[in-house]
Amino acid sequence: MYKIIDAEFIAPNVRKIIIEAPKIAKKRKAGQFVIVRVNDHGERIPLTISDSNLEEGTITLIVQGIGWTTQELNSLVAGDFILDVVGPLGKASHIEKFGTAVSIGGGVGTAIAYPTAVALKQAGNYTISIIGGRSKEYVILENEMNKVCDEVFVTTDDGSYGYPGFVTTKLQELIDAKRKIDFVLAIGPIPMMKAIAEVTRKYKIKTVVSLNPIMVDGTGMCGGCRATVDDKTVFVCVDGPEFDAHKVDFATLERRNRTYREDEKDALQRHSCKSEEAILKAVNEG
């Protein structure tokens, strides 16, 4: 059992959850993830560790409530427990002094890009971050990024905050302005990562993305998270999660991630009926 120390919404449907897990807090490196199972009927889902606090023995997860499990997780409050948290899993981000490193986060992807941005800065890189959201309220971790990065650019799709447009537009602007860029990390929805890869491919800028396939055990045992990279099959949980963006077959990843889409809808619907029933019952019973 893993205790939730604190939990708060930092954007619509996006919750920052701080969990007591001293061993993982001590061991985790940027880029690594945990597998979480909320309760004994729960599924196992991978979530990248966004931050940790060694003294408090805690790790921070930033969770977007999309399916039933993430919504259930986001309904938990300080003092509640998560049944299983296992990690740190996967390989740590490859960190070196590249020169100028740009960390790009789209939506909740910023939470995953953040720890690697910190590590890139610590390794002596000039660190730029570009963080985007649909609109102002969806931009997360701007203050945190400001603390560690030399420059931070915020973009919003609807122009309600920062630069109007996508993170790709801003990256292209930097390139057009002849800024020297030696390394790009891009984390966010698949179409965004794919778009960034297309931008940097032309300029041969080394670019890394963090993949988010469906997983079960997270330790290489099931092979459910396999992806195609450089025309070869990889297991994202043990070979990744970070890969060369120019070699990833994003289309296959996107298709495989849709495997259980109907089940996810079904689960959400049934659970929302159930909670309505529970509310009605509670009301009826006074």
Partner 1 sequence: MPKLSNKERMKIQRQAMPEQESAVRRNNFSEVNLGFTEELARMEAERCIQCPKPTCIEGCPVGVKIKDFIALVAEGEYLKAADKIKEDNMLPAICGRVCPQEEQCEAKCVVGKKGESVAIGRLERFVADFERQTVGIREATLKPKSGKKVAIVGSGPAGLGCAGDLIQMGHDVTVFEALHDLGGVLIYGIPEFRLPKDIVKAEVESLKKLGVDFQTNAVIGLTDTVDELMSDGYDAVFIAVGAGLPYFLNIKGENYNGVYSANEFLTRVNLMKAYKFPDYDTPVFHVKGKNVAVFGGGNTAMDAVRTAKRLGAKNAYIIYRRSDAEMPARKEEVHHAKDEGIEFLFLANPLEFLGDSDGWLTSVRLQKMELGEPDTSGRRKPIPIQGSEYILDIDMAVIAIGNGSNPIIQKTTPDLQYTKWGNIVVDENTMRTPKKGVFAGGDIVTGGATVILAMGAGRKAAAAINEFLNSSN
For partner 1 (CB under 8 A), the number of binding residues is 43
> In the bound complex, what is the minimum distance in angstroms from residue 82's beta carbon to partner 1?
11
Secondary structure of 102-152 in the HEC alphabet?
A: EEEEECCHHHHHHHHHHHHHHCCCEEEEEEEECCHHHCCCHHHHHHHCCEE
Of 147 and 270, the one with the shorter C-beta distance to partner 1 is 270
Residue type, 128: I
Of 76 and 222, the one with the shorter C-beta distance to partner 1 is 222
Identified binder of partner 1 from the candidate list 183, 235, 243, 250, rule CB under 8 A? 235
280 beta partners: none
> In the bound complex, what is the minimum distance in angstroms from residue 125's beta carbon to partner 1?
26
Quick one: tokens of 36? 């979480």
> In the bound complex, what is the minimum distance in angstroms from residue 95's beta carbon to partner 1?
17
Is residue 240 at the binding interface for partner 1, with CB under 8 A as the rule?
Answer: no
CA distance 166 to 156: 7
Report DSSP letters for 189-232, one per residue. Answer: SHHHHHHHHHHHHHTT-EEEEE-----SSSSSSS-TTEEEETTE
Quick one: tokens of 248? 């990833």
For partner 1, what does the binding mask look like between residues 11 and 40, x meaning CB under 8 A?
------------xx--x---------x---
Of 166 and 235, the one with the shorter C-beta distance to partner 1 is 235
> In the bound complex, what is the minimum distance in angstroms from residue 237's beta carbon to partner 1?
10
Identified binder of partner 1 from the candidate list 4, 18, 50, 68, rule CB under 8 A? 68
- CA proximity to 88, closest of 46, 116, 56, 37: 46
Binding site for partner 1 (CB under 8 A): 23-24, 27, 37, 41-44, 68-69, 83-89, 216-217, 219-224, 226-228, 233, 235, 238, 252, 255-256, 258-260, 263-264, 266-267, 270-271
